[in-house]
Amino acid sequence: MYYFDNSATTQPLEEVLTTYQKVAERYFANPSSAHRLGEEAKALLNQARQQIADILAFKEDEIYFTASGSEANNWFLRAVVPALKERRSKNQAKVLISAIEHPSMLRQLDILSNFACQFELIPVDDQGQIDLIALEEALKDEHVLAVSTMAVNNEVGSRQPLTKIGQILNKYPQIIWHVDAVQAVTACLNDLHHPRIDCLSLSSHKFYAVRGVGIFAKRQRVASQPMIYGGGQERSLRSGTENLAGIVATAKALRLAAERQHQTQAKLSNFRQQIIEQFETCGWHVFAKEQASPHIICAALPPIPGEVLLHAFEQADIFISTTSACSSRQHRAHASLTAMGVPAEISNSAVRLSMSQYTTEDELNYVLGQIPKISQAFQA
């Protein structure tokens, strides 16, 4: 098996699974319980929270745990934005969102009208990077409350210019900036260490941890309504008994990813370039070629549908995807490529290969050998 669908989910590391099992067995008590076992569980929870905060350059009490990255993204629009609106004037408020955001952002935009808010989509260029001139122009509207941008796009891998966006937003300190960083941990984790970023969303299963843990990092200056009401966990903003074993395993996985960033970037940049060259040699279109994370390659062989190409790779025991995992089974259009101006007859053929820090050279060489065979079968 040759697994190249790591943007959908990564395989948990053995050492992370070991941590998960040990915590689940030894620290099974509820962290909210007042007895000794509960206090031990609470201490372990706080330790994991501090470790994650240190890696992300946030404070310990600015880290909140959710059940997924999608929930963390929902938190921003459903709980932070309404709280910001309450603290500002009663005039119509606005949220700026890049046109290539994840469905967990784009598919909830209509709810903003419930808070008397509007949204504006900021376009991207042909590399999938946000149009900085359009962003600057949109920010001149005094009603803008918040901006949300990805760090790394989940479909084409485009890497957003966070430093330049931060420089622009420094002129508007009252505007809150949210970054969906779910795809950034593999090879772009250092991009997130920008002091202007106010909120971050992460998802455990994207960086070799178990599923079921999301992270919402929120600066103290950022107001928020409760995301889930109930027992008062997560400083009363996200109630529900904490997934302690998953959280501790996630903290370990994030630490390992941080320690291996430099090595991962170098290796995957080399691998990605070789795959791109092979695709282009075989007549494929490659997207976001110059401005993408090292771990993602998006390419198309029109007019062959992407789903057909996916199954051709699968027959060669290579597992890839078409669009994001959240959209592939619904056969939705390739939203990111559409926003980049790619015609439908090309974008419908798009597939995504995504690597991990544990992708090997043997796996790479196998894929490089299969791309010409698969291509020739359709071109014939």
**DSSP state letters, 40-59:** HHHHHHHHHHHHHHHHHT--
Residues 322 and 229 in one domain: no
| Catalytic machinery residues | 326
What is the domain count for the chain?
Answer: 2
- Predicted local confidence at residue 334, as pLDDT: 85
In contact, 75 and 214? CB cutoff 8 Å:
no
CA angle, 29 as apex, 26 and 34 as ends, to 5°? 130
Q: Which of 224, 71, 209 is nearest to 146 (CA)?
A: 224
Tokens of 189: 């984790």
Residues 247 and 345 in one domain: no
Residues 201 and 324 in one domain: no
Does 185 have pLDDT greater than 70? yes
Report, as an integer, the average pLDDT of 287-316. Answer: 97
Number of C-alpha atoms within 13 angstroms, CB side, residue 332?
Answer: 16
Residue where a domain stops, chosen among 256, 275, 310: 256
Residue 275 is part of a domain; what is its CATH number? 3.90.1150.10
Residues 114 and 41 in one domain: yes
**Burial class for 91, CB neighbours closer than 10 Å (0-12, 13-18, 19+):** exposed
Residues 251 and 337 in one domain: no
- Predicted local confidence at residue 235, as pLDDT: 95
Residues 267 and 252 in one domain: no
- The span from the CA of 264 to the CA of 259, in Å, is 10
Does 313 have pLDDT greater than 90? yes
Cα–chain center distance at 311 = 25
What is the average pLDDT value for the chain, to the nearest integer? Answer: 95
- The span from the CA of 307 to the CA of 317, in Å, is 15
What is the pTM for the complete model shown? 0.94
Kind and range of the H or E element at 264? Answer: helix 261-281
Residues 178 and 199 in one domain: yes
Tokens of 206: 């994207």
Q: What percentage of the chain reaches a pLDDT higher than 70?
A: 96
- The span from the CA of 66 to the CA of 137, in Å, is 34
Residues 49 and 179 in one domain: yes
Q: Which of 306, 321, 326 is nearest to 103 (CA)?
A: 326
Residue 111 is part of a domain; what is its CATH number? 3.40.640.10
- Predicted local confidence at residue 325, as pLDDT: 47
Q: What is the tens place of the pLDDT at every residue in 323-356? A: 754 444 455 568 999 999 999 999 999 999 999 9
- Predicted local confidence at residue 89, as pLDDT: 66
Residue where a domain stops, chosen among 222, 239, 256: 256
Residues 300 and 157 in one domain: no
Counted residue by residue, the chain has a size of 380
In contact, 72 and 215? CB cutoff 8 Å:
yes
In contact, 175 and 146? CB cutoff 8 Å:
yes
Kind and range of the H or E element at 177? Answer: strand 176-180
* Phi, psi dihedral angles at 35 (to 5 degrees): -80, 175
Residues 276 and 239 in one domain: no
Structural domain containing residue 310: 2-8+261-377
Q: What is the tens place of the pLDDT at every residue in 62-84? A: 999 999 999 999 999 999 999 99
Torsion of CA 211, 48, 75, 237, to 10 degrees: 130
Residue where a domain stops, chosen among 218, 236, 256: 256
Residues 252 and 292 in one domain: no
Residues 99 and 132 in one domain: yes
